[in-house]
Amino acid sequence: MKQYDIAGGMFDPFWKDLPFTNIHDSITPDALHQLYQDVLVHLISWVQQVMSKEELDRRIQCLPPTYGVCHFKNGISSLNQVSGPERKNIGKVLLSCLAPNLPSRAVQACRAILDFLYLALYGSHDEETLAYMEDALSKWHNNRDYFLETEIRKDFNIPKFHSLLHYVDSIRKFGTVDNYNTELFERLHIDFAKEGWRASNKRDHFPQMIRWLSRQEKISSFDFYHPVAIKGVGFTTAINNAGKSSMYQYTIAKLPAEPHKSITRILVSHSAPNFLPCLKLFLNSLLDNPQSRSRALNAILPIKAVDVWHQFKLRPDSQVDGEVVEEVIKAVPFHKKHSSNRFDNVVVLHSEQAESTSLQG
């Protein structure tokens, strides 16, 4: 350490003769290690102290499985070496487990931090979204005293919480957080190093890893121009709204879970009283010359039963936080083979006028 003068500090900085350099700007926000693996960790720890680890685990276990949310059937207190994706999934369900026992100030403080976290991860920003971030941070500062009053914390002199004050300024200067988030590089370490290592025979592995990566790139390039993939029954659908088209890949099983199920049974078992009129309108939209809405609803269907699938896998042509997402969407009715029914809610982007903070569009 003496050789490199690490212990004694840097008395002759390299940037001293650069007049336009602000060395503090070199420390940019890092969503993975600052927000998920530090701020959220503190928040979860404080909530566990307020209501006990056992109570938080019980509430998390009671949450029903649903689309896009990880179900922690054993709670979270038993998790060791929690990864970034696991921490994200905990953040998704944390707020729903707080009420009604926690005081409103504690719930508002936790909500403010979670709002700030998700707003900071936006793929694009303007002055309006940055104002949302500043408002969320202000709500956190207005309500965080609850943790001091209950002696959960003695102070908030935590560097990672202080870093939240610089997020808006950094986004204005350098762009969105994903430009300098270490999560992407850690994800690439899996794709480019770990998977290549596993594909080798563990002897003279570097040439094998390079060859494997080269082949993966060629396959990806080929798939880009031939997007239809058959896995079970696979489809690639172009959805055109307002002149825009986007690609979604979804797969379903080769055989339906309930073949030739009568429409009347579907209305009851799926709790879908509007299924029949919706089916008529959908079939009418496929005609070359669709009829009017009233005539379509009064039409008599030539079929009495349809095949029913209980789930399908959806893979959007995009990435979330550097990871390729493939979600399973389920609609499982009550049946003697199933312990409980499950109907996932899905929010679909319908137009380019969709708002980031509401369901409009």
Interval 48-54 mean pLDDT: 91
Q: Give residue 229's pLDDT.
A: 45
Band of pLDDT at residue 27, cut at 50, 70 and 90: confident
Domain limits, the chain: 23-179, 182-225
- Amino acid at the residue 69: V
Q: Give residue 66's pLDDT.
A: 80
End-to-end CA distance of the chain: 59
User: Per mean pLDDT, which range of 88-102, 133-147, 156-170, 275-289 is the poorest?
Assistant: 88-102
Measuring CA to CA, how many Å separate 178 from each of 72, 116, 171, 322?
28, 15, 10, 9
Cα 253 to Cα 279: distance, rounded to the nearest angstrom: 21
pLDDT tens digits for range 228-255: 544 455 544 444 444 444 456 788 999 9
Q: Give residue 248's pLDDT.
A: 62
Provide the β-strand partners of residue 312. Answer: 329
Contact between residue 323 and residue 187 where contact means Cβ atoms under 8 Å apart? yes
Q: Give residue 239's pLDDT.
A: 41
Cα 200 to Cα 212: distance, rounded to the nearest angstrom: 8
Q: Side by side, which strands form the sheet with 244-252? A: 233-241, 244-252, 311-316, 327-332, 342-343
Q: Give residue 17's pLDDT.
A: 86
- The whole-model pTM stands at 0.70
